[in-house]
């Protein structure tokens, strides 16, 4: 049986923000989610264009969208969420205290889309829109239910 190709590395997600918002996005993710820059940021003519950040076991690349692509959809993507007007993606993040993280995120410019609630499986979950238009499903495990 052919098993097909095997993943040999980690998967990295690229979050596109409006050109020029890269540092603000990096600061938000560091302050709210504890993300840390890994490696050296990507520069072009001395200006920050992108940086890789580690959030727990995951790597997220924060990238400034090309202003020409943001302005003209016929050029194709990727484009920032602000240029599109919505996002088709939700990012799940597991944290130690969803209530604290959601509160802190709103004080840093995020907006609550769905208030924190406890699910039947014991998770506490809320949905946050960050200042850059990305949706985050913020979760923490409160208790383990009997099987």
**pLDDT tens profile 67-114:** 999 999 999 989 999 999 999 899 999 999 999 999 999 999 999 999
Contacts of residue 55, defined as CB under 8 A and 6 or more positions apart, other chains included, come to 29, 33, 34, 35, 93
Would you call the peptide bond into 47 cis, given omega within 30 degrees of 0 as the criterion?
Answer: no
Burial of 10 (0-12, 13-18, 19+ CB in 10 A): exposed
Q: Is the pTM of this model over 0.85?
A: yes
Domains of the chain, first to last: 12-141 (3.10.180.10)
pLDDT tens-digit profile of 31-55? 999 999 998 899 999 999 999 999 9
């Amino acid at each position: 049986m052919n098993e097909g190709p095997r993943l040999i590395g980690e998967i990295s997600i690229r979050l596109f923000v409006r050109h020029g918002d890269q540092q603000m996005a990096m600061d938000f993710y560091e302050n709210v989610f504890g993300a840390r820059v890994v490696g050296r940021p990507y520069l072009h003519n001395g200006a920050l264009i992108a940086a890789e950040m580690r959030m727990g076991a995951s790597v997220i690349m924060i990238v400034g969208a090309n202003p020409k692509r943001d302005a003209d959809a016929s050029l194709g993507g990727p484009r920032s969420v602000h240029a599109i007007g919505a996002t088709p993606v939700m990012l799940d993040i597991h944290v130690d205290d969803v209530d604290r993280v959601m509160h802190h995120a709103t004080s840093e410019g995020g907006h609550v889309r769905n208030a924190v609630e406890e699910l039947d499986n014991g998770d506490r979950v809320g949905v946050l829109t960050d200042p850059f238009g990305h949706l985050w499903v913020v979760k923490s495990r409160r208790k383990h239910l009997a099987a």
